[in-house]
Amino acid sequence: MPTIKINGRDLEYEPGETVIQVAHRNGIDVAHYCYHPSMSPEGNCRICMVEVEGWPKPVVSCKQLCGENMAVQTESELAQSARAGTMEMLLVNHPLDCPICDQAGECHLQEYSYELGHGESRSTTPKTHLPKNVPFGEEIVYDAERCIKCTLCVRFCNEITKTGELAMANRSDNEQVVMTSKGEFTTNYSMNIVDLCPVGALTSRDFRFKSRLWFMDFTPSLCTGCARGCNVTIGGRGGRFMRMEPRENQDVNQWWMCDPGRLGYGHVNSETRLATPAVRDANGQWQPATFEQAIVAASAALKDARESHDVLLDGGATLEELEAARALASAMGGQARFAAATGDDADEFLIVNEKGANAKGAEMLGLERQADAAPAAVLVVERDGNVPAALRDGAGAVVAFVTDATNVPDSVRVAFPYGSWAERSGLLVNVDGRVQELRAARQVGPGNLSPAFALMEELTGELDGNHVPRDRGELVAAVKNEKAFAEVAFPAGVAAGQTVGAGS
């Protein structure tokens, strides 16, 4: 394979690769705004300029193809002065309103400005004023003054979604992004342009002005809006779910996620979250209880249960919870089933019709899918959509694990708080049979939740004297021993003995 020299290192490249691709693949940082590996290089921001030895001028590394015997310097005096000059040019009309900008803290312009820029502008001309609060669809707001015209959002709509809502209008310092006069995106993926935007020009109306980034905690996890299992980063602060952004995984979601998934966290921040276990007293009134009291009350209630000995789980329940539920059901002499919503909004990109994030895993474990109301003694409900009211009320359950207190049916005598997907750790099997790890996000949810699988294991122990409650590692090991999982790769790092489940 031919090689190119970058900063003195001989690096192999495929013919047709650009300098920035080879540099990034080998861990050499090259500053960039308008370059994104998924789209055609535009070369308009000029910040990625590097020096090629023997060439008279610096070149943009995002468009420069690698060639034999090329020697590239990314940190030479010429390259650095080219970048500094570009930064100065980009900042001529940028308002530098970082103190009130949502992007501050994750803004590439801010980072490079700090690194390369001057403390003061040398320009004496007043800055150009452009529209600052332009709505792009329902969820996005555009600020043309902050915009550095990298055209990533325009290319995203042209090349990735192929819907072409955005275009560049006007010229020079009046240049700005304009949207089609219909004012709506026809794609379900529009909010990815907010993540793509290297500056604070595109902000999400859902998240803007809610929190500074440095007050938030970020956890790599998964989206459970459908069974695709897009890899995401969840940002939380003080018990609130603040936002979710896609995390690159070329095998699942590339760099993207859909808007319904991104915004589908309403139930996490619900005002009616069940935060502590609750037990009905003799008068039928709910009383808060400790987990120990609730376990005792629940096992008594389950021993009394006549109508059914089954467990009905939300299609988003983790493999650990499914395995614990199977043991619980068999201790009662029943079986575990699951319920999950099915949509009709699948597309050829990411969204799939199966809305049970772990429906595939449940099927692989041999759980039956339940569509109509049927009796069950134990209910596990996170999303209304997966276990709708008809199924909840029709089960006649006596014990419920619920995320939202309003989802507790009248028949229930003991209710346990059940973390939303953002607060639970565990394994999910996506629609393609890929096992991925859900991680409880820090600073999300009411906190102090016991993992549902641990509670179910304790309940099983109460009902069956011979059962020793298993920890997370043992539950995962039990799943791995299942025939259906014999050939399946599991993510590394879920060690035996690990009991951590709920976050905060």
Partner 1 sequence: MSATPPRAPAAAPKDVEARQPAPTPVAFPPAALKDECEAILSRYPTRQAALIPILLLAQGHYDNWVSPEVEAGVAEYIGVSDSHVRGVLSFYSMFNLKPAGKHEVWVCRTLTCWLRGAAKLRDTALEKAQAERAGVVGEDGKFLVKNMECLGLCEVAPAVFVDGVAHTNVTNEKLVELMDACE
Tokens, residue 409: 């049916």
Which lies closer to partner 1 via its Cβ, residue 49 or residue 232?
232
Is the CA virtual torsion 121, 124, 126, 128 positive or negative?
A: negative
- Establish if 205 lies at the interface with partner 1 (CB under 8 A): yes
Q: What is the DSSP string of 213-269?
A: GGG-EEEEEE--SSTT--EEEEEEETBEEEEEEE--BTTTTBT---HHHHHTTTTTT
One residue of 14, 26, 75, 164 binding partner 1 per CB under 8 A: 164
Q: What is the 3-state secondary structure (H, E, C) of 77-143?
A: HHHHHHHHHHHHHHCCCCCCCHHHCCCCCCCHHHHHHHHHCCCCCCCCCCCCCCCCCEEECCCEEEC
Please tell me the distance from the alpha carbon of residue 136 to that of residue 163, in angstroms, as a whole number: 14
- Establish if 209 lies at the interface with partner 1 (CB under 8 A): yes
Which lies closer to partner 1 via its Cβ, residue 57 or residue 171?
171
One residue of 22, 31, 79, 179 binding partner 1 per CB under 8 A: 179
- Establish if 481 lies at the interface with partner 1 (CB under 8 A): no
Q: How many CB atoms lie within 10 A of CB 358?
A: 34
- Establish if 239 lies at the interface with partner 1 (CB under 8 A): no
**177: three-class secondary structure by DSSP:** strand
- 267 CB-side CA count, 13 A: 23
Which lies closer to partner 1 via its Cβ, residue 378 or residue 387?
387
One residue of 166, 274, 312, 325 binding partner 1 per CB under 8 A: 166
Which lies closer to partner 1 via its Cβ, residue 50 or residue 157?
157
Q: Which of residues 113-142 bind partner 1 (CB under 8 A)?
A: 131, 133-135, 138-139, 141
- Establish if 394 lies at the interface with partner 1 (CB under 8 A): no
One residue of 3, 121, 180, 293 binding partner 1 per CB under 8 A: 180
Please tell me the distance from the alpha carbon of residue 74 to that of residue 58, in angstroms, as a whole number: 10
Which lies closer to partner 1 via its Cβ, residue 115 or residue 138?
138
- Establish if 238 lies at the interface with partner 1 (CB under 8 A): no
One residue of 200, 236, 315, 385 binding partner 1 per CB under 8 A: 385
Site string for partner 1, 249-288 (x = CB under 8 A): -----------xx-xxxxx-x-------------------
Is the CA virtual torsion 149, 152, 153, 157 positive or negative?
A: positive
**276: three-class secondary structure by DSSP:** coil
Which lies closer to partner 1 via its Cβ, residue 72 or residue 351?
351
Which lies closer to partner 1 via its Cβ, residue 108 or residue 149?
149
AA identity, residue 241:
F
254 burial level (CB within 10 Å; 0-12, 13-18, 19+): middle
Which lies closer to partner 1 via its Cβ, residue 343 or residue 446?
343
Tokens, residue 192: 């990815």
Beta carbon of residue 135, minimum distance to partner 1 (angstroms, whole number): 5
Which lies closer to partner 1 via its Cβ, residue 195 or residue 404?
404
Which lies closer to partner 1 via its Cβ, residue 134 or residue 300?
134
Per DSSP, the chain holds a count of helices (H) and strands (E) of: 12, 23
Span near partner 1 by CB under 8 A; candidates 231-239, 278-286, 335-343, 453-461: 335-343
- Establish if 371 lies at the interface with partner 1 (CB under 8 A): no
- Establish if 315 lies at the interface with partner 1 (CB under 8 A): no
One residue of 24, 63, 208, 467 binding partner 1 per CB under 8 A: 208
Please tell me the distance from the alpha carbon of residue 82 to that of residue 364, in angstroms, as a whole number: 57
Q: What are phi and psi of 109, to 5 degrees?
A: -65, -40
Beta carbon of residue 207, minimum distance to partner 1 (angstroms, whole number): 9
Please tell me the distance from the alpha carbon of residue 363 to that of residue 354, in angstroms, as a whole number: 12
- Establish if 355 lies at the interface with partner 1 (CB under 8 A): yes
Q: What is the DSSP letter of 169?
A: E
Beta carbon of residue 191, minimum distance to partner 1 (angstroms, whole number): 12
Please tell me the distance from the alpha carbon of residue 408 to that of residue 415, in angstroms, as a whole number: 7
- Establish if 383 lies at the interface with partner 1 (CB under 8 A): yes
Closest CA to 148 of 134, 160, 130, 161: 130
Which lies closer to partner 1 via its Cβ, residue 64 or residue 443?
443
Beta carbon of residue 82, minimum distance to partner 1 (angstroms, whole number): 26
Binding region for partner 1 (CB under 8 A):
131, 133-135, 138-139, 141, 164-171, 178-183, 205-206, 208-209, 225, 260-261, 263-267, 269, 341-345, 353, 355, 383-385, 388
